[in-house]
Chains A and B, each alone.
Chain A
Amino acid sequence: MKKETKNTESVIEIRNLKKSFGTKEVLKNISLSLQKEENLVVLGKSGTGKSVLIKCIVRLLKADAGEIEVFGEDVNTLEKGKLDDVRKRIGFLFQSGALYDSMTVRENLEFPLRRIKKGLSEAEISAKVNEVLENVGLAEALNKMPSELSGGMRKRISLARTIIVDPDIILYDEPTTGLDPVTSNEISMLINDIQKKYKTSSIVITHDMECVRTVADRIIMLKDGEVYKNGNLTEFEKDSDEYISSFFKGQNVELNKK
């Protein structure tokens, strides 16, 4: 895939997205776009509908209103077969990792590969599995069961499973939540590496500020189901708005100690 002009072509275009559960309106009116080869961070407090947003993109949840165009196709109205074609080009890293418990790491990695990239030979599959495991630095985990892995290792294997099918877009649902600072940082670096190596565009959902600083090309902040601010890291750090600076400046350490 050749690319002459950077950051002009948008791969995801969301317009006026609405989603509510019962009487609770989670997403009120969201519009955003993801440019090619860009890391877009979606920031916001827990419960502001960040996960709901990316689940709507792959139609794990169906949006109530609005358009979600992925590669120019509106996923909300696509029929099943076409939807699968779009899904094949999107990788989704789940918050919990979502590794299949009953399968070994190898089987976990082979699962999407055999189903999405049909017609690969056994040797090619094996080579691909080894390649992605190398990329996430866990070649030794090949024959382990997910239950034998630590939290950070699960996240990495899960990441390996996401990238094994060479997706054009990767959606990360809180990739560093529940990990120690060192492992978090490693995962953030890994996200950057993957973006460079596979030329993917990604949406990263997080409230881990270190991760934001490492990966963000652009940031969108959500508040009360709407886009609160859209900009790059320096714009956000300079912003004097109380809600925004509560994320970017350290919390009141002295106050909390009292």
Chain B
Amino acid sequence: MKPYKKVKNYARTRTIALTDTSLEHTLSAKKFFTDLADVFLFVGQVFRNTFSRGFEFREFLKQCFQIGNKSLALISITGVIIGLVLTIQSRPVLVNFGAVNMLPSMVTISLIREMGPVITALICAGKIGSGMGAELGSMRVTEQIDAMEVSSTNPIKFLIVPRVFAATLMIPLLTLYADALGILGSWAAANIKGDVSAVLFVTQAFRDVEFMDFIPAFIKSFFFGLVISLTGCYKGYNAKNGTESVGIAANSAVVMASLLVIFVDLIAVQITDLL
């Protein structure tokens, strides 16, 4: 065990022993606040660069393709399965009440309001967040970001802004797509036990869905995209030296992004509730 650090307690004019743990707490609290300040500075820089002159349009399109197109298969599979599972699990309860014809609208509402946006965001936090963390982290470690800076290119403008923009735009679109496929999966599940035509299913599904179910969820998913990409970029951009830090950047990007998605969801539901 390390020796205690002696500090002077001026109030009692005698020396007390400061234990290791309390020292550690002070240091970690200090680190927490400096990190937090760092995050705000980073986000501020990103926004400042977003609205200044010269948008990297080609990079933006490239990132849209990377984020949107390359997540499509993953989102498709998840979407269909979520719809399928929700339907199969809710069915027995509704059968007890003789309310099977409520099934499509129930599943659709839960998909549109909550499952679609959150599941898509969590999947994207894993796929896109880690991708950005690892890519930017390895660019930082191999000095590529420095190289950009010395060729008088602002790395935030060239690397971060297009990624944040692309994710903020693509994740809502992926959410819509996941919702649609979820409804498809739900229809498939409804046909396992019963026999429902697609037209009847869709009619029943959208009978109770209002436009206001849809709008908050859609807005929410923009914010999901924003936090996922900002987290991934922040972690990658601020990776320390050494290959190990690339792994850490990718990992902590996923953890933080997933957590923030849940937090944003919590805030969003409170705001929607007020409306």
Q: Footprint of B on A, CB under 8 Å?
A: 55, 58, 60, 84, 87-88, 90, 92, 94-102, 111-112, 115-116, 165
Contact = CB atoms under 8 A, between A and B. Distances in A.
B146 A165 contact: no
Contacts of B143: 94-96, 98
27 contacts: A58-B150, A60-B149, A84-B152, A87-B150, A88-B152, A92-B146, A92-B150, A94-B143, A96-B142, A96-B143, A98-B142, A98-B144, A98-B146, A98-B147, A99-B144, A100-B144, A100-B147, A100-B148, A101-B139, A101-B142, A101-B144, A102-B135, A111-B153, A115-B151, A115-B153, A116-B152, A165-B151
A163 to B, nearest CB: 12
Interface size, B (range): 10 to 19
A60 B155 CA distance: 12
- The B contact surface, by secondary structure, is helix
Interface string B126-145: 00000000010011001110
Interface of B: 135, 138-139, 142-144, 146-153
B63 to A, nearest CB: 11
A115 B152 contact: yes
A60 B152 CA distance: 11
A95 B142 CA distance: 9
Contact of B150 (A60, A99, A100, A102): A60
Nearest to A165: B151
Contacts of B152: 84, 87-88, 115-116
B144 A60 contact: no
A65 to B, nearest CB: 22
A90 B152 CA distance: 10
Contacts of A88: 152
Nearest to A95: B143
Q: Which 8 A-B pairs have the closest CB atoms?
A: A112-B151, A84-B152, A98-B147, A98-B143, A94-B143, A92-B150, A87-B152, A98-B144
Contact of B147 (A90, A94, A116, A165): A94
A111 B155 CA distance: 13
Nearest to A60: B146
